[in-house]
């Protein structure tokens, strides 16, 4: 779950809990005054009706009852012994109202929900020895209904959730900007990753200032590394070229001259490995034909007697990659297979190369038929400077070849992993993004 949603849910739970708690508190605080107020209103109506009946003669009483019914929706009728009435629904509020009415009107007061199946608010009272029913509409005395409270609660809940969303968004906005800036730094874009150092929040301003200082330092380190790599390439390879020329001209023995040239070539290859691994991460990707790239890498190797290839590529494979870097990665894998993937009992390394589309990806697999590697070493083979048992006797091995491949494939947005084949040998599995467009040329 993202930080925004976690913050939103926590704030929402807090606000909704507060709304419900306050609602219950208000209901409890309002309960007693509401019961007393309702009882007072009903008692006033009954007392006024009783006084009107007591002070009117029999003839005027009929006209009085008709006027009260037409204008005030009050009906007064004699209470008969055979009348059947239904008490108010059992609730604490209703019981409290009845108790208050009996205190005000007398202990023989009856409050009913219906009389002879006629609904309404019925109050039974006495005038001397005569007993009467007073019928009125219940909603004249009802307090806000459950629906009213529900609407109020829903409104408060919606406003609370909207407030929680706004607060969560406000809290998480600086973190979102920081995550975006960190992603741009990861991609090597140091200039566009600067954060606002004038924000009003003191803590966020301190984080932004520290982050900007860090990115400026990283940019300076990256620039220094680029200059250093250029210097290493020039300062080391120039003396090596002079040594190679000196050996050709000054060493008369062909065997010694060939050995010295081989040592110089190994030194040059090792320097190249280090430079490849330390190469800056900037890379421009474009549609590249994987079929052509594989063929370009295999062309100079087909004449070698220690290598055999079996190629099975789907036609028209296009990947999103840097053509030069992709060739460098494939050549590293082929060199690794030629060096350590010889079949048992032979000096020949047989390499199977296959590739196909899978949805929006391209799967590329290179497999040799050697002895493979112990399972516990598979995850270490791409660790810089790690060399398996079979590589330790190789003087010109740096342990960087597979690390360079993993780094290169990762910079192109792909994945790289190694596994042992079921029939023996080591498998290099590459997944690249599928591309649509005209292939780039290297």
Q: How does pLDDT run across 230-277, given as a tens digit for each residue?
A: 676 666 777 777 787 877 777 788 888 787 887 777 677 667 666 666
Phi and psi at 313, nearest 5°, equal -110, 135
Looking at the chain, the domain(s) classified CATH 3.30.565.10 span 286-433
Decide: 375 and 364 in contact? Cβ < 8 Å: no
Per CATH, domain 286-433 is 3.30.565.10:
yes
The number of CA neighbours under 13 Å toward the Cβ of 173 is 9
pLDDT digits (tens, 9 = 90+) for 8-66: 777 888 878 887 787 777 766 666 677 777 778 888 888 888 788 787 777 777 787 78
- Which regions in the chain score pLDDT beneath 70? 1-4, 27-32, 92, 139-146, 148-149, 226, 229-230, 232-235, 266, 269-270, 272-283, 385-399, 437-442
Strands 415-420 and 349-358: unpaired
pTM of the model: 0.49
Beta strands in 324-422 (DSSP E): 349-358, 361-368, 415-420
φ/ψ of 276, rounded to 5, equals -60, -45
CATH 3.30.450.300 occupies which residues in the chain? 3-148
Residues 6+ apart with CB under 8 A from 47: 105
**Which CATH architecture group holds 3-148?**
2-Layer Sandwich (3.30)
Helix axis angle for 290-298 and 323-340, nearest 10°, is: 50
- Measuring CA to CA, how many Å separate 1 from each of 156, 162, 183, 205? 26, 19, 19, 26
State how far the alpha carbon of 236 is from the alpha carbons of 7, 198, 229, 248, 394, in Å.
56, 47, 11, 19, 22
**Structural contact between residues 50 and 125, judged by C-beta atoms closer than 8 angstroms:** yes
């Amino acid at each position: 779950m993202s930080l925004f949603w976690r913050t939103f849910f926590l704030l929402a739970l807090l606000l909704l809990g507060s709304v419900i708690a306050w609602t219950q508190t208000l209901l409890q605080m309002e309960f007693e005054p509401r019961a007393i107020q309702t009882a007072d209103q009903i008692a006033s109506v009954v007392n006024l009706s009783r006084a009107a009946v007591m002070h009117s003669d029999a003839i005027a009483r009929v006209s009085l009852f008709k006027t009260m019914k037409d204008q005030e929706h009050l009906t007064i009728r004699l209470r008969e012994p055979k009348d059947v009435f239904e008490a108010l629904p059992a609730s604490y509020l209703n019981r409290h109202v009845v108790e208050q009415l009996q205190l005000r009107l007398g202990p023989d007061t009856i409050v009913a929900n219906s009389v002879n199946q006629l609904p309404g608010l019925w109050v039974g009272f006495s005038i001397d020895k005569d007993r009467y029913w007073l019928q009125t509409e219940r909603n004249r005395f009802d307090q806000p209904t459950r629906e009213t409270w529900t609407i109020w609660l829903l409104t408060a809940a919606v406003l609370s959730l909207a407030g929680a969303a706004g607060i969560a968004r406000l809290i998480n906005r600086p973190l979102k900007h920081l995550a975006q800036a960190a992603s741009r730094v990861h991609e090597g874009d140091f200039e566009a990753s600067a954060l606002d150092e004038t924000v009003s929040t003191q803590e966020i301003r301190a984080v932004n200032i520290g982050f900007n200082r860090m990115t400026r330092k990283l940019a300076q380190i990256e620039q220094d590394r680029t200059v250093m790599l250029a210097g290493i390439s020039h300062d080391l390879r120039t003396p090596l070229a002079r040594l190679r020329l000196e050996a050709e001209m000054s060493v008369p023995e062909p065997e010694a001259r060939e050995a010295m040239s081989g040592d110089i070539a190994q030194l040059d290859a090792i320097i190249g490995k280090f430079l490849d691994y330390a190469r800056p991460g900037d890379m421009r990707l474009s549609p590249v034909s994987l079929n052509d790239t594989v063929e370009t890498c295999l062309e100079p190797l087909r004449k070698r007697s220690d290598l055999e290839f079996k190629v099975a590529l789907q036609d028209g494979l296009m990947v999103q990659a840097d053509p030069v870097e992709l060739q460098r990665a494939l050549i590293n894998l082929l060199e690794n297979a030629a060096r350590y993937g010889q079949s048992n009992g032979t000096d020949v390394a047989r390499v199977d190369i296959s590739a196909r589309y899978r949805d929006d990806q391209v799967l590329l697999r290179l497999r040799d038929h050697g002895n493979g590697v112990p399972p516990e070493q598979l995850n270490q083979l791409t660790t810089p400077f790690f060399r398996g048992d079979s590589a330790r006797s190789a003087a010109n091995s740096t342990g960087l070849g597979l690390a360079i491949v993993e780094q290169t494939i990762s910079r192109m947005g792909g994945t790289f992993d190694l596994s042992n084949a079921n029939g023996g040998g080591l498998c290099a599995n590459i997944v690249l993004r599928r591309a649509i467009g005209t292939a780039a040329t290297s």
